[in-house]
Amino acid sequence: MHADLVAISNLYAADRAIDTLRGEHESLSSAVRAARDAVASAEASVKLNEGAVATVVAAQRATDRELEDYIDKKKRAQKLIDTGAGDYAAAERQVAQCAAIIDQLETRSLELMDQRDGAESVLVSSRRELAGRQAELEAARGKLAARDAPIRAELAAAFEHQRAVSPQLPASYRLHYDDLRRRKRIVLINVDDGCCSACAMRIPPQKFVEVQKFRAVHTCVGCGGYILP
């Protein structure tokens, strides 16, 4: 390889090692963020379902109280009938009214029981979901924690290596190299069947021959990547 191309290739390898480590750290961190979001949303849904259960329970209590009131009321009216005290006809009407209302309240009470069963089972599954999400978060945190320090150490070494190889790049290449990197382009390209492996642009045979004979350093006119021999 042409000495300049060797310098480009060394720097590119050093830069890519840094990219890889940063990418690994970022993907571990973003897994933690995603798991944290999933836990937050599972917590919100547990809270919502707890609220739904509480609402049904409150309605059950109110219905039960009302039911007891009407049962008492009916008993009192029945007592008036049984003892012959007071207005018999009015007491009869009251017993009938109370019995009708008690019927409705009992039906309502059964409906609420069903609703409570439903709401509680939704709550149980949302709590199970939350536990699963929390376990995933712990796992993601564990993975990040296990790799955090090693990645930092490897990055420090990679930066040191980059600082060592960077000055070997002749200054005339710097602008183009940095431009390729900034635009996240492939810096080194192969020639397959006379075409660039990155952008498929045709590489003039003369250029390729010069690269292969280490006479010159050329770039692809399509993507700007340096042509490898």
> Contact positions toward Zn ion, by CB under 5 A?
196, 198-199, 201, 220, 222-223
Nearer to Zn ion, 63 or 219 (CB): 219
Nearer to Zn ion, 103 or 178 (CB): 178
Nearer to Zn ion, 163 or 202 (CB): 202
What letter would DSSP give residue 219? Answer: B
Q: How far is the CB of 197 from Zn ion (least distance, A)?
A: 8
Q: How far is the CB of 137 from Zn ion (least distance, A)?
A: 43
Q: How far is the CB of 189 from Zn ion (least distance, A)?
A: 5
Enumerate long-range contacts of 210-215, CB under 8 Å, 24 or more apart.
211/2, 211/5, 214/1, 214/2, 214/5, 215/2
Torsion angle of alpha carbons 64, 67, 72, 75, nearest 10°?
-140
Nearer to Zn ion, 135 or 201 (CB): 201
Contact 33, 141 (CB under 8 A): no
Q: How far is the CB of 194 from Zn ion (least distance, A)?
A: 12
Q: Exposed/middle/buried for 75, CB within 10 Å: 0-12, 13-18, 19+?
A: exposed
Q: How far is the CB of 165 from Zn ion (least distance, A)?
A: 24
Nearer to Zn ion, 98 or 225 (CB): 225
Q: How far is the CB of 223 from Zn ion (least distance, A)?
A: 3
In the chain the first and final C-alpha atoms are separated, in Å, by 7
Nearer to Zn ion, 146 or 201 (CB): 201
Angle at 24 between CA 21 and CA 27, to 5 degrees: 150
Q: Which residues pair with 188 in a beta bridge?
A: 226
Q: Exposed/middle/buried for 114, CB within 10 Å: 0-12, 13-18, 19+?
A: exposed
Nearer to Zn ion, 17 or 198 (CB): 198
The dihedral built from the CA positions of residue 111, 114, 120 and 123, taken in this order, carries a sign that is negative
Contact 92, 84 (CB under 8 A): no
Q: How far is the CB of 195 from Zn ion (least distance, A)?
A: 8
